[in-house]
């Protein structure tokens, strides 16, 4: 990746210092409740498979996870900040079908939050079509974002 504002990661993921790309709204192009917006109520982090490597940087910590639910595999992000030096930020899943636009499903992490927040969970198929996705962790000030490599599901 040699785009302005992007850093290269050895594992194929990306580091961003220029703010999130302008993506379409999370549920644009979906039908019904294909995306789970109540991730912690539906999935337990301990029962999910954690993506490697973690997305941690500076005082931010987080990871991508996936698990099955009602016959589908879902991916989501989890974000937190160190208690000693808290920062605001959050976690998001970016997704798209075929050559469609990227969509962003984000959940902010307020600086006062001492637990983890979870992004919405995105299935590997939307509208019966395979999805490409990324899981990201970001910090607000100064802005920085760390994302997994694109995960192609079809």
Give 115: exposed, middle or buried? Use CB within 10 Å, 0-12, 13-18, 19+. exposed
Q: Is 100 helix (H, G, I), strand (E, B) or coil?
A: coil
Give 72: exposed, middle or buried? Use CB within 10 Å, 0-12, 13-18, 19+. middle
- Please tell me whether the peptide bond between 151 and the residue prior to it is cis, using omega within 30 degrees of 0: no
C-alpha span between 30 and 37 (Å, rounded): 13
On whether the CB atoms of residues 42 and 121 are closer than 8 A, the answer is: yes
Q: Is 45 helix (H, G, I), strand (E, B) or coil?
A: helix
Q: What is the pLDDT of residue 10?
A: 37
Model pLDDT for residues 64-112, shown as the tens digit of each residue: 999 999 999 999 999 999 988 899 999 999 999 998 999 999 999 999 9
**Distances 91 to 70, 78, 136 between C-alpha atoms, Å:** 24, 6, 6
Domains of the chain: 6-152 (2.60.40)
Q: What is the pLDDT of residue 1?
A: 29
């Amino acid at each position: 990746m040699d785009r302005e504002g992007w850093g290269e990661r050895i594992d194929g993921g990306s580091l961003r210092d220029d703010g999130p790309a302008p993506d379409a709204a999370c549920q644009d192009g979906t039908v019904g409740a294909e995306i789970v917006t109540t991730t912690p109520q539906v999935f337990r982090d301990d029962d999910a498979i954690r993506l490697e490597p973690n997305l941690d940087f500076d005082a931010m910590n987080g990871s991508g996870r996936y698990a099955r639910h009602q016959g589908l595999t879902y991916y989501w992000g989890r974000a937190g900040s160190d208690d000693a030096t808290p920062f605001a930020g959050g976690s998001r899943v970016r997704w798209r079908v075929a050559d469609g636009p990227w969509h962003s499903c984000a959940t902010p992490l307020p600086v006062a939050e001492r637990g983890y927040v979870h992004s919405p969970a995105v299935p590997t198929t939307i509208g019966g079509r395979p999805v490409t996705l990324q899981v990201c962790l970001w910090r607000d000030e100064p802005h920085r974002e760390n994302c997994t490599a694109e995960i192609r599901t079809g």
